Structure 1
Amino acid sequence: MYAVSLASLVCLALAACAGDPGGSAAPTSVAPTTTSTTTAPPTTTATASRTTKPSTTTTKATPSRSTTVAPPKPKPVTALAPVPRAGAEPTVRFPKNEPAVGSGANASVARVPDSVWNRMVGVSWTQGCPVGRSQLRYVRVNFWGFDGKRSRGSLVVNASIADETAAAFARLYSLQFRIRQMKPMDSTWGKNPKGPGANDYAAMEADNTSAFNCRYVGGEEASKVYSKHAYGTAIDVNDFENPYVADDGTVYPDRYWLHRRGPAPGVFSSSGSAAVRAFTSQGLRWGGLWNNPDYQHFDR
């Protein structure tokens, strides 16, 4: 029995000694894991640092490129080439147009000033006219003359179309549409030999652009029907280049441009032309579409 017991003790002792190497293996496997975890943060820090620097550089470069490409502003046009003489020209000449005021069309609308009204009374306005001074307005606007210069013109219209008139002529200015002259109907023209109002026939011969004139329908004075000009709701532009055909077939003031309706300086060539649309877009109708055309005429 002792022999067996001793042998058993020896075996147990040997088994205990053999267990030590197995127990020391656990720390060895933990050590690499700890080392791997420790080296990870430096990698993350380096990546963040590289990402931030390029972003800052790109943001600074963008404004500098946009600043250098701004184009220079074009200079405003101050004169155009004069229009060559046509086959027919106005026979009545008046003093030179007033010089333009300010830039662009510089249109304005105001009550009729005393200086203008005093020249109208007894001529283009008389007692019995369908409208009075309070219903009229004084429109001033720059325009391009046939001489190529910027000039200043004025006309008297009904207050109901004053703003539209100013807008239409401002549009003509932007189109560089030529206008011979633009003066109110007053004592300058003398009295109408065929009825009330200022002498519209002299104004047409002078190629004058105008509006209010307390007169009967031109060429039909015997009817004693007031024209829309007597109300200030009609405008005649460039009479010579845009003639009027009366009911009896008479052409005022000249036939030269009657059948020359193609695009030309100062001519209202068609209802689709930009110059005509300058007025029709403001709610005015064009007489060029009538059976007896009145190419110079716009009204409401």
Structure 2
Amino acid sequence: MMLAASIFSASSLAKVAPISQWQCDMMLKTSVLAQGAPVGCERLSKVDFEFIDFQGQSKQGSVIVLDVVAPSVEKIFSDLKQRNFPLHSARLMREFKGDDDASMNANNSSAFNARPITGGSSWSKHAYGVAIDINPVQNPFLEFGDNGTIKVKPIQSATKYINRTQFRARDEIERSGMAEAVVDLFAHHGFLIWGGGWNTPIDTQHFEVGSRLFVNQLVSKPKPEATKLFNSYIDSYRTCYQQNKAQGGEKARAMCAYKTVNAF
């Protein structure tokens, strides 16, 4: 019995499964999946995983992503736990009825949500299941107005997490969970674009896969072909990084991410 329990515990750390009909119906009911969305339930997978919260406790979380990126997402969250990188929560967007602001205000890490880009009309990469947001409070979204105003989401980030400098040892725990610490990890598993590197908006919680052209290929091709393409994309980045890491890890990551995104 002890051996069986141990095996079950180890195998339950992370799991990838197709979306069930019930889950699909709930996503439609709660406006997480909209009519005309670029990806349907047949191409989505649910990733269940364990994570460490800010109190050091082990918790259960889930995200929904495009099927071909799901194995990489499983590895991302397993690696986050291994690094003791904390997450506040990771609840499915149906619990927030697809309301991105509500999810951010709850400091919730999330993925699939069939919504437009913030402030625009085209589909967000979250609508394709190829984007992940982590710890929105520690990693806010900054939007710049024409008159020089700055809108911070969620608002509770404004007094603590706009300054991204990791300073003073006593701030290390208080400022843990910031995305800068794991940009390399996300890139290693194919999420090469980090919104914290954008000029406007600045979206420090946001990681995504490749160009829109590349993402559309992943969605339009049959799963076996799309999987092969995504694996080639990851291998291209990792090969470039290995060849250039002597220049410095951050420099090599940025250069190889740029080259890979533009090559695919």
The TM-score range, normalised by the shorter chain, is: 0.5 to 0.7
Distance 1:213 1:144 in 2: 24
**CA shift digits 1:73-98 (9 cap, x unpaired):** xxxxxxxxxxxxxxxxxxxxxxxxxx
- SS state at 2:47 partner: strand
Deviation of 1:140 (Å): 0.7
- 1:212 and 2:112 matched: yes
Partner of 1:258: 162
Q: Deviations over 1:137-195 (max 9, x none)?
A: 10011000123210110010011211111111111000000000001111x213xxxxx
Q: Using the TM superposition, give the Cα deviation of residue 104 of structure 1 relative to its aligned residue in structure 2, in angstroms.
A: 8.7
Q: Residue 144 of structure 1 is aligned with which of 52, 67, 70?
A: 52
Q: Give the conservation status (yes or no) of the 8 Å contact 1:261–1:268.
A: no
Q: Could you say if the C-alpha distance between residues 105 and 146 of structure 1 is closer, same or farther in structure 2, counting changes exceeding 3 Å?
A: farther
Distance 1:178 1:261 in 2: 18
Partners of 1:135 and 1:156 lie apart in 2 by 10
Rounded Cα–Cα distance in structure 1 between residues aligned with 2:23 and 2:117: 24
Q: Which has the higher helix share?
A: 2
Cα deviation, residue 247, structure 1 = 4.4
1:157 is aligned to 2:65: yes
Query: How many aligned residue pairs are there?
Result: 185
CA distance in 1, matches of 2:11, 2:178: 21
Deviations 1:55-109 (Å, cap 9, x if unpaired)?
xxxxxxxxxxxxxxxxxxxxxxxxxxxxxxxxxxxxxxxxxxxxxx824982111
Letter of the structure 1 residue corresponding to residue 206 of structure 2:
H
* TM norm structure 2: 0.66
Cα 1:129–1:144 shift into 2, 3 Å: same
1:267 to 156, 162, 178: 178
What code does the residue aligned with 1:139 have?
Answer: V
Cα separation, 2, equivalents of 1:107 and 1:211: 16
Q: What is the Cα-based RMSD across aligned positions, in Å?
A: 1.8
Measured against aligned partners, the alpha-carbon deviations of 1:35-67 in whole angstroms (never above 9, x if no partner) come to: xxxxxxxxxxxxxxxxxxxxxxxxxxxxxxxxx
Long gaps (5+) in structure 2: 1-7, 167-171, 210-264
Counterpart of 1:110, as a letter, is A
Partners in 1 of 2:116 and 2:205 — Cα distance? 17
- Percent identity, aligned pairs only? 32
Q: Secondary structure at the match of 1:279?
A: helix
Equivalent positions of 1:123-134 (< 5 A) are 123-134=31-42
How far residue 215 of structure 1 moved from its aligned partner, in angstroms, is 0.5
Query: 1:29-108 counterparts in 2 under 5 A?
Result: 102-103=9-10, 106-108=13-15
> Is 1:169 the counterpart of 2:77 in the alignment?
yes
TM-score (norm 1): 0.58
CA distance in 2, matches of 1:228, 1:261: 28
5+ residue gaps, structure 1, are: 1-100, 191-197
Contact 1:169 1:278 in 2 (8 A): no
